[in-house]
Structure 1
Amino acid sequence: MNLKNWMYLFWTTLAVGAAGSLIVGLLMQWTDTLDMNGATDILVNIAVLLGVGAMVSVYSQMGFFAYLMLNYMGNGVFSRRTWQYIQLGLAVLAWLELMFFRLFVGREGKGTSDIIFGVILLVIAVGVAYFKVKMTHSSAWIPTLFFMTAFTILEIVGVLKIGVDQATLWIAAPLIACNAYQILILHRVLKPQNTYKPPQQQGLVNE
């Protein structure tokens, strides 16, 4: 990935995060009937929502590049099939940690809220993986599921510890949107500088 492609990915992901935070934040404030005293309050509120979304997008990008490095090392150390099994196992463990282990082992979970969030995240991860496979190759199924579940849960665990559903929704929505956008756009960002290779040899382009 050259600097031009990285800058494109950075700024577009920044826009996705800011837009996601703005939309979710305004919807939450609308349901709470928040009072705004004049145009200044409205502009400041919008600026705060956009700023939080931008910071969430940067956090998401840090996680995404950590995933790319982990995936690169995993493919180098293990066989392709073994590394996929490892990713699948880690994804399942992260999902169980979110929905059950935090509640029954760590006594940190919120029961119903964690289960609902876990189910929603799984549905989104499967949907993103489906579209990724449609755009690339069937080998992208497990890596996409792994990133969308394990890394998203790892990134959001700090907010989950706060135990406030509104805070979780405000941060999780743009974070998931940024993660989904990055994994779906990756092969398009890398394609200009790579000639076509068979799916088994494309590595991170398809994954």
Structure 2
Amino acid sequence: MNSLYIMLIFIAVSVLIIIFLFRSKWIIKVNYQFPEMDDMQISVFFYKWCVLRQKKLRIPDQNEMEKGYVHFYKHLSRKQLHLLKQLQLRSLLKELKILEFKWQTKGGTGDAFSTSIASGAIWAIKGWLIGYLTQHLQLFEKPQIHVQPDFQSSSLETSFSCMISFRLGKTILGIMRVLKIKEVK
């Protein structure tokens, strides 16, 4: 009889811990600066407690990125990435909340004409990205983007900071919806 009570208490505590973890709020903070840092810094918070501080992820160099793009293009040309069309990423994106988004860029080509064209292209890319994020995610703060052309020298500097919040249980359900593959009739 005593072991039955211990087993019931263990099951009840286990269920409560699982419910707590699935309802828990997680925050991921990403920082990157170019050319000062070669690594991306990521911090993970569980509610307000820091679980992982500034884990550095190495950014691949130009040759590694080109190899990745070539590998992706080969699979795309062979139509081996047909599952990407069936993935429903919108259901997963709806579960994410952006608490902070800052992206500042400063640079130039050394020539005023090409610097102005490059600055306009960067504004267009950032504007498209902010529009996409606004449409598919919940933004809690107005995104801060800035492009400063440098007409005098040839340089590029960028600073990126983002905080994303999500609930673990809802994200797991979103991932399950994304991985659900429709049967082809």
State whether TM-score is above 0.5.
Answer: no
Larger fraction in helix: 1
Query: Scaled by the length of structure 1, what TM-score is found?
Result: 0.28
TM-score by length of 2: 0.31
